[in-house]
Amino acid sequence: MTTEADPIRERLRPRIVETGETGRLDLGRPAIPEPSLAPLPARGFPSPSAVAMTGLGILVVGVVGIDLAQFVDGAFARGTGVGALAALAVAAGVGGALYWLTAELRGLFRLRSTERLRRLIPSALASELKPEIDAVAAILAHDPLLSEAVHSYRAVLEPHHTGEDALELFSRFVLAPADQLAQAAIRRAAAQAFAINAISPTVLLDTLLFAARALRLIREIAEVYGQRPGLAGTVHLLRRLASGVGLVGAVNVVGGVIAQQLGGAVLERLSASAAESAYAAQKMARLGLVAMASCRPIEFRPGEAPSLSGLVSSLLRQSQKRDG
């Protein structure tokens, strides 16, 4: 029974409070929010490498700046027309460099934001999950490939959905189409790796072409997931891939089990060179899967990750169709 001696229970009793608001609720389609990323937490002290790189950067900018100033000054000494031309050329060069630098920084910022959210989401509380997924959606909304998917996600997300609901809907409406695009990119790259290996006259050329195609694949996958890396972003991605999964080692180890993956019967039907090409394709596919797992803004849930055997077999089917 509820008594005065039991204040906690009394507080938890149902109750109704009248408000000043009137009118029926309108629970039509929710407005699409424009979430913004929370700022990164401030670090106590900058790292030594960051201090060193900043100092060196200032040195380079200073030296180049002084050189350019002298160059323009010297040009003006030869005549106003030559000076103006030099100033224009320097301005164009500096503008181009700034544009490139801005694009690089934006790419790098997007990459880091995605990485931060990717780290936060698995451990997020239910109440934190929705804003964090909204932040990922905000990043992907700028991606022309996925903007429509993000719009669909926002259109179906309603205020009563929980964080887990939002994650499920985001996976279903945004990440699933992105995964399909990424897999299509992997299949294309694997097919090209197959062809490169088949026609390449030397091992060195084969290796160079494979590396170039692999780099392009990684950038394609990063773009699919809204990261659009520039040079710095690509280097960062490669570092992450290499450190995270032991890129080359992983690919080679996987190569060791290729016979199991492909099945003895398939290998018997292929010539020795075709088997080597299939191996190259499989390596490329494996690399693509690692890149997918690394670039995806939200980690794969159990049973969600595409399988290597599925990709390889679809590739082999394509190859056999072409041969047939």
Partner 1 sequence: MRLLRADRLPRLTAFLNDRTVRLAVTGLSGAGKTAFITSLVRNLLSAVGQPARLPFVHATAERRILAARLGAPESETIAQFPIHDTIVALAADPPHWPPSTTDLRRADLSLRFTPAGFLGRTAGGTAELRLEILDYPGEWLLDLPLLVQSYRDWSRVTLERARRGARALLARDWLDFLARHPADSADDPEVARRAHGLYRAFLSACRTQEQLSLLQPGRFLNSGQISDPTLLWFCPMPFSVGARAREGSMAALMEARFEGYKRVVVQPFFTQLARGVDRQIVLVDVLRALNDGEEAFADQRLALETILTAFRFGRRSLLRLLFGARIDRVLFAATKADHVPALQRDHLEALMANLVAVPTLRAKEAHARVAATALASIRCTEDGTDVIEGHKVDVVIGLPEGGDRRIRFFPGIVPVTPPPAGFWGERFTEFPVFQPPRIAPAAGDGVPHINLDKALDFLLGDALA
196 contacts 283 by C-beta, under 8 angstroms: no
Q: Is the Cβ of residue 16 or residue 203 nearer to partner 1 in the bound state? A: 16
Q: Which part of the chain contacts partner 1 (CB under 8 A), choosing from 6-14, 63-71, 101-109, 293-301?
A: 6-14
Buried b (16+ CB within 10 A) or exposed e, 241-265: beeebebeebbeebeeebeebbeee
Tell me if 1 contacts partner 1 by CB under 8 A.
yes
Q: Is the Cβ of residue 156 or residue 208 nearer to partner 1 in the bound state? A: 156
Q: Which part of the chain contacts partner 1 (CB under 8 A), choosing from 142-150, 163-171, 227-235, 300-308?
A: 163-171
194 contacts 319 by C-beta, under 8 angstroms: yes
192 contacts 213 by C-beta, under 8 angstroms: yes
Reference 38, options 153, 131, 150, 170; nearest CA is 131
Q: Which of 56, 63, 66, 156 binds partner 1 (CB under 8 A)?
A: 156
232 contacts 108 by C-beta, under 8 angstroms: yes
Tell me if 321 contacts partner 1 by CB under 8 A.
no
Tell me if 12 contacts partner 1 by CB under 8 A.
yes
In the complex, the smallest distance separating the C-beta of residue 16 from partner 1, rounded to whole angstroms, is: 5
Reduce the DSSP state of residue 76 to 3 states and report it.
Answer: helix
In the complex, the smallest distance separating the C-beta of residue 155 from partner 1, rounded to whole angstroms, is: 7
**Residue 291 class from Cβ within 10 Å (0-12 exposed, 13-18 middle, 19+ buried)?**
buried
Q: Which part of the chain contacts partner 1 (CB under 8 A), choosing from 11-19, 92-100, 238-246, 278-286?
A: 11-19
Residues 98-137 close enough to bind partner 1 by CB under 8 A:
126
All residues at 6 or more sequence positions from 62 whose CB lies less than 8 Å from its CB, including other chains: none
Q: Which part of the chain contacts partner 1 (CB under 8 A), choosing from 9-17, 65-73, 186-194, 220-228?
A: 9-17
**Which parts of this chain interact with partner 1 (CB under 8 A)?**
1-2, 9, 11-29, 126, 152, 155-160, 162, 165, 168-169, 172-173
